Amino acid sequence: MLQLILGGARSGKSRLAEKLASDSNLSVTYIATSQPLDGEMSDRVAHHRARRPAEWALVEEPLELARVLRESARAERCLLVDCLTLWLTNLLMLDDAERLAAEREALLNCLATLPGEIIFVSNETGMGVVPLGELTRRYVDEAGWLHQALAEHCQRVVLTVAGLPLTLKGSAL
């Protein structure tokens, strides 16, 4: 089963995804896409790390998400990817449109072949004001297009607001 958990900053999306992973009764591999390049991001990573069960495996991969999914997916495993918008940011910061397109295509193309359960977490950024600056507008556009494409493949899509899940597609939580 493929699931997409969307929400704004501090909406409870990661906590919900972690609960779903725990409730799956499968072994869990947490795939972290962040690159803690400053103190604030390091604090966020530490907070997430402290909250995760010690028995969960961890794979840190900022760019080659499709490769890691193909290598890690198993019928008896739940993969939790946190988060797609950080992955997208990492690719955007490379300033290589071909690499971004190739990695996005690789991700979308591998989804149908992945065994097990996969939970994607991503920030919903398209519900606010249009950001200033070309890069931030491109980020919002790319995230929106990625979410639409991924939602087509997922059996369940959930929007999380104020810690409350709203099922947009698939069976309710």
| Distance in angstroms (rounded) separating the CA atoms of residues 133 and 46 | 30
For tokens 């950080």, name the residue.
86
State yes or no: is 153 an active-site residue. Answer: no
| Distance in angstroms (rounded) separating the CA atoms of residues 36 and 39 | 7
- Out of 47, 48, 147, 153, which one is annotated catalytic? 48
Query: By the 8 A CB rule, do 17 and 165 touch?
Result: no
Alpha helices in 52-133 (DSSP H): 65-72, 84-93, 97-110
Tokens of 173: 């939580």
User: Which positions are catalytic?
Assistant: 48
